[in-house]
Amino acid sequence: MSRDVRSGKIRRDPFTERLGIHNEIHEDGVCITTHRSSEDESNIYGVVHGALLFAMADVGMGMALAAALPGEPRLGSISITANFISAGKPGLITAKSRVVRRGRAVAFLETEISDGGGSPCARFSGIFHIYSGGGEQAR
């Protein structure tokens, strides 16, 4: 069953809204992130900018993890590794993020991104910290 991130469990994210990035939770631990890119999000070579792909992966992994946790979790990325496979063509960029393994305080996630032509263009792996008690502040 699909549910939109605005369903109440996941708070809205002004940063991704400003970038035109859309998130949809498909099941606990999976998030599909999309963005319709144009020349405005491309680098000088006409390729989708890696920073946009990174933002999609970071947000998608965070949303996937938040959806897999009870309540309103507080979490943050510890480390994200980017592997750019090919030049990303502008168009509808689609990222699928999922929880690979989750412990009490740390989770491992991955994201696969396809470019506007539907070809795989990047893979990301991330390690996220899950704050206990919800009251701790990220540093």
CB-hemisphere CA count at 13 Å for 95? 32
Fold assignment, 3-131: Thiol Ester Dehydrase; Chain A (3.10.129)
> What pTM did the predictor assign?
0.86
Q: What are the distances in angstroms from CA 12 to CA 8, 15, 22, 90, 123?
A: 9, 9, 10, 26, 25
108 has which bridge partners?
A: 101, 127
Give the tens place of pLDDT for each residue, 60-90. Answer: 999 999 989 988 889 999 999 999 999 999 9
Token digits of residue 77: 């990325």
Among candidates 122, 99, 97, 101, which has minimal Cα distance to 111? 97
Q: Where are the domains of the chain?
A: 3-131
Q: Could you tell me which residues come within 8 angstroms of residue 123 by beta carbon, excluding any fewer than 6 positions away?
A: 83, 85, 110, 111, 112, 113
pLDDT tens for each residue of the chain, 139 residues long: 344 444 445 667 888 889 999 999 887 789 999 999 988 899 999 999 999 999 999 999 999 999 899 888 899 999 999 999 999 999 999 999 999 999 999 999 999 999 999 999 999 999 999 998 654 444 4
